[in-house]
Amino acid sequence: MEIISGGVCAAKGFKANGIHCGIRKNKTKRDLALIYSEKRANAAAVYTTNLVKGAPLTVTKQHIADGYASAVICNSGNANTCNANGIEIAEQMSDLLANELKISANDVVVASTGVIGQPLSIEPIKNGIPELVSGLADNKSAEAAEGIMTTDTRLKEIAVSFTVGGKVCKIGGIAKGSGMIHPNMATMLVFITTDCAITTEMLQKALSSDIQNTFNMVSVDGDTSTNDMVTVLANGMAGNTEITAEGEDYTEFMKALNTVTVHLCRCIAGDGEGATKLIECSVTGAQSDSIAKTVAKSVICSSLTKAAMFGADANWGRVLCAIGYSGAVVDVNKIDVSFKSQKGEIPVCKNGAGIEFSEEIAKEILLENEIEIKVALNDGEYSSTAWGCDLTYDYVKINGDYRT
* Structural domain harbouring 303: 278-400
Question: Which pLDDT tens digit goes with each residue over 330-378?
Answer: 999 999 999 999 999 999 999 999 999 999 999 999 999 999 999 999 9
Q: What is the pLDDT of residue 314?
A: 98
Kindly state whether residues 75 and 200 are assigned to the same domain. Answer: yes
Kindly state whether residues 251 and 369 are assigned to the same domain. Answer: no
Kindly state whether residues 131 and 244 are assigned to the same domain. Answer: yes
For the chain, the domain total comes to 2
Burial 286-300 (b: 16+ CB within 10 A, else e): bbeeebbbbbbbbbb
Q: Is the pTM of this model over 0.85?
A: yes
Kindly state whether residues 231 and 90 are assigned to the same domain. Answer: yes
Kindly state whether residues 215 and 339 are assigned to the same domain. Answer: no
From the centroid of its chain, how far is CA 302? 20
Cβ 369 vs Cβ 390: under 8 Å:
no
In whole angstroms, how large is the CA radius of gyration of the chain? 22
CA–CA dist 8, 181 (Å, integer): 23
Kindly state whether residues 225 and 282 are assigned to the same domain. Answer: no
CA–CA dist 187, 345 (Å, integer): 30
* Percentage of residues of the chain with pLDDT beyond 70: 98
Question: Which pLDDT tens digit goes with each residue over 294-341?
Answer: 999 999 999 999 999 999 999 999 999 999 999 999 999 999 999 999
Residue 287, SS3 per DSSP: coil
Question: Which pLDDT tens digit goes with each residue over 246-256?
Answer: 999 999 999 99
CA distances 321 to 221, 295, 352, Å, are 18, 11, 11
Neighbours of 154 (CB within 10 A): 10
Q: What is the pLDDT of residue 178?
A: 79
Cβ 108 vs Cβ 98: under 8 Å:
yes
Report which residue type is found at 297. K
Kindly state whether residues 225 and 305 are assigned to the same domain. Answer: no
Cβ 31 vs Cβ 20: under 8 Å:
yes
Neighbours of 130 (CB within 10 A): 11
Q: What is the pLDDT of residue 77?
A: 94
Cβ 225 vs Cβ 180: under 8 Å:
yes
From the centroid of its chain, how far is CA 63? 22
Kindly state whether residues 247 and 215 are assigned to the same domain. Answer: yes
Q: What is the pLDDT of residue 396?
A: 86
DSSP 122: S
Kindly state whether residues 231 and 300 are assigned to the same domain. Answer: no
CATH of the domain at 148: 3.60.70.12
Q: How confident is the model at residue 186 (pLDDT cuts 50, 70, 90)?
A: low
Number of C-alpha atoms within 13 angstroms, CB side, residue 287? 8
Kindly state whether residues 214 and 126 are assigned to the same domain. Answer: yes
CATH of the domain at 340: 3.10.20.340
Kindly state whether residues 109 and 244 are assigned to the same domain. Answer: yes
| Helix (H) / strand (E) containing 39 | strand 32-47
Q: How confident is the model at residue 177 (pLDDT cuts 50, 70, 90)?
A: confident
Helices 289-301 & 317-324 angle (0-180, nearest 10): 130
Catalytic machinery residues: 187
Among 270, 301, 318, residue at a domain's last position: 270
